[in-house]
Amino acid sequence: MLALYRSLLYLYPSAYRWEFGHEMMDVLAEVQAEIRKRGARERVLCVAREIGGLLYGALQEHLWSITGSQGGRRFSSLFSSGRFAMRSEFRFPKVTVGLMMVILAAVMFTIEKARAISVSIPHANPAVGPIHPTQAMIVQVLLATLIWAIGAGAIGWAILFALHRSGLQQLSEMNPSAEQRSSK
């Protein structure tokens, strides 16, 4: 059972696992020693409860790392506080950047349409004829910039993922005192 518990601990963020993993394994070992004295039904219920608690805790910790909410009401405060996707090191939610880009694109598109309208209308006040967009390049430029940014982000993510898989961070996460403790 301890092997299953240990594998479920890998669902937690690595920083959390490094800080609390050994303590959690000690508690789970105590719980396992305690339930050996009970009946089969109680053991199954206890193991199911512990597995559910580990899964719920891992989900809660990942949501906390994403949202940055603090305290015991993490799930209830996600939507009620209006600070979803807010972190203390940011001044505004991450979603705001995307919304600002959409608004900027809409404003630039509107300016180009207004420029096309002003070019198509003579300076006298005759009837307005059909309006033909003369410069629709802004949409192509914005689309090309967006595709370039997504490509650069994907390449950066791939490099970071490859570095994470190669084990470069494992040296910083290594805890020699914990290895000595587990070998005793």
Contact 5, 50 (CB under 8 A): yes
Q: According to the model, what pLDDT value does residue 76 have?
A: 46
Residue pLDDT, tens place only, 39-53: 888 888 888 888 888
Q: How far is CA 139 from CA 5, 56, 105, 118, 148, in A?
A: 53, 45, 8, 19, 14
Residue 184: pLDDT over 60: no
Nearest CA among 60, 72, 51, 52 for reference residue 2: 51
Lowest model confidence (mean pLDDT) among 5-9, 75-79, 157-161: 75-79
Residue 183: pLDDT over 70: no
Residue pLDDT, tens place only, 153-180: 999 888 887 776 656 556 566 666 665 5
Amino acid at 174: M
Residue pLDDT, tens place only, 121-143: 766 666 666 666 656 677 788 89
Taking the C-alpha atoms of residue 108 and residue 19, their distance in angstroms, rounded to an integer, is 49
Verdict on whether the full-model pTM lies above 0.85? no
Structure tokens belonging to residue 145 = 């910039």
- Stronger pLDDT, 89 or 67, i.e. the higher one: 67
